[in-house]
């Protein structure tokens, strides 16, 4: 009972101090925050009601009410600002992409409001140089702005890497996202493990096999010219021939795929003249740890790793859009 009373007192304090109700609303889940003046989350709630699980615009309003209705009634002066797939064609509102290069004011200029005014929604970001195929993100642009707000030393020139199902690599100069590239590493790993011949020999359990992971990284780093479509077959042959135990094959494949992402991503960063600039990892601790290990194999050390930068990014955008006090 005491804990519950403490929790209620904490939430009252958080409500009193908050500048914004921020929502990071992706395909598969939603996190809502009371965001303080420093860009950190004073309170946080999560649900699995992601944009891809909802149909009909009313469903979005209902979920927002369930998750944050009490916050909105307690502080009717606070605005709600959401980022992520909530702003896509199959989301709450189809918000057109902002275009690279883009900084916080440019993204803020694209913020749109839902028809009944329940929430404001951040645009996604498009990179299109007219030559290469275009690239898109929704949600990560806000996490990037959050990283820049929390760590101003990244604003001048940096490379920001957001590992995940679809990893994003972003080149930043003068507070602008100049260019970015998506790598489908996480999804590739998942579909190969669940649906290809490579998953058949793999056994789970036994924890993270760092040696097998490093072997995968090194295969990409040293022999990546042989092609990832060839090298991934080793996640079968190393098992068939007894070179690696079944419990190690998944981490070998993970290392190989992350290794190929780094092989391409680090060269891309170098071509942009950013190899001396800070490299920041933004994402869950477990995934950032894998990328840190992989970067070290490449002789590169990430300058910093940040978790949950969405609240800071949402506050930055809310201020730039006049939706939160400066």
Burial of 220 (0-12, 13-18, 19+ CB in 10 A): buried
Residues 50-60 as b/e (b if ≥16 CB within 10 A, e otherwise) read bbeebeeeeeb
Closer Cβ to its own copies, 150 or 257, answer by number: 257
Is residue 211 a contact point for its own copies (CB under 8 A)? Answer: no
Site string for its own copies, 148-177 (x = CB under 8 A): ------------------x-----------
DSSP-derived secondary structure for 190-219: HHHHHHSGGGTT----S---HHHHHHHHHH
235 close to 253: Cβ distance less than 8 angstroms: yes
- Cα–Cα distance, 27 to 25 (Å, whole number): 7
Q: Which is nearer to its own copies, 54 or 64 (CB)?
A: 54
Using CB under 8 A, which of the segments 6-14, 28-36, 181-189, 288-296 binds its own copies?
Answer: 181-189
Minimum distance, C-beta of residue 231 to its own copies, in the bound complex (Å): 8
Build a one-symbol-per-residue string for 108-147: x at contacts with its own copies by CB under 8 A, - elsewhere.
------------------x-x---xxxxx-----------
Is residue 181 at the binding interface for its own copies, with CB under 8 A as the rule? Answer: yes
Residues 226-285 that bind its own copies (CB under 8 A): 226-234, 237-238, 240-241, 243, 257, 260-261, 263-265, 267-268
Q: Among candidates 147, 81, 129, which has minimal Cα distance to 303?
A: 147
Q: How far is CA 273 from CA 61, 158, 270, in A?
A: 45, 10, 5
What is the rounded distance in angstroms from the CA atom of residue 136 to the CA atom of residue 266? 20
State the residues that interact with its own copies by CB under 8 A. Answer: 126, 128, 132-136, 166, 181-185, 187-188, 191-192, 194-198, 219, 223, 225-234, 237-238, 240-241, 243, 257, 260-261, 263-265, 267-268
């Amino acid at each position: 009972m005491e804990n519950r009373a403490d929790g209620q007192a904490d939430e009252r304090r958080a409500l009193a101090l908050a500048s914004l109700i921020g929502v990071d609303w992706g395909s598969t889940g939603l996190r809502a925050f009371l965001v303080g003046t420093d860009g950190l989350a004073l309170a946080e709630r999560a649900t699995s009601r992601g944009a891809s699980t909802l149909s009909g615009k009313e469903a979005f309003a209902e979920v927002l009410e369930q998750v944050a209705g009490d916050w909105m009634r307690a502080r009717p002066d606070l605005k709600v600002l959401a980022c992520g797939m909530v702003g896509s064609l199959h989301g709450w509102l189809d918000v057109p992409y902002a275009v690279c290069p883009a900084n916080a004011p440019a993204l803020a200029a694209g913020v749109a409001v839902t028809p009944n005014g329940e929430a404001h929604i951040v645009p996604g970001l498009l990179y299109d140089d007219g030559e290469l195929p275009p690239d898109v993100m929704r949600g990560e642009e806000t996490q990037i702005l959050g990283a820049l707000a929390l760590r101003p030393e990244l604003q001048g020139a940096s490379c920001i890497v957001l590992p995940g199902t679809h990893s994003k690599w972003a080149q930043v100069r003068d507070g602008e996202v100049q260019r970015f590239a998506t790598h489908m590493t996480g999804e590739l790993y998942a579909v190969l493990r669940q649906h290809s011949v490579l998953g058949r020999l793999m056994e789970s359990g036994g924890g993270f096999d760092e040696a097998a992971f490093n072997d995968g990284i090194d295969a990409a780093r040293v022999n990546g010219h042989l092609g990832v479509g060839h090298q991934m077959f080793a996640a079968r042959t190393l098992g068939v021939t007894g070179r690696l135990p079944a419990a190690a094959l998944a981490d070998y494949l993970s290392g190989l795929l992350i290794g190929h992402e780094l092989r391409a991503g680090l060269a891309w960063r170098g071509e942009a003249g950013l190899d001396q600039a800070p490299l920041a990892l933004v994402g869950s601790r477990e995934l950032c740890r894998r990328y840190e290990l992989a970067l070290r194999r490449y002789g590169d050390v990430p300058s910093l790793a940040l978790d949950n930068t969405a609240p800071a990014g949402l506050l930055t955008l809310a201020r730039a859009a006049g939706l939160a006090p400066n």
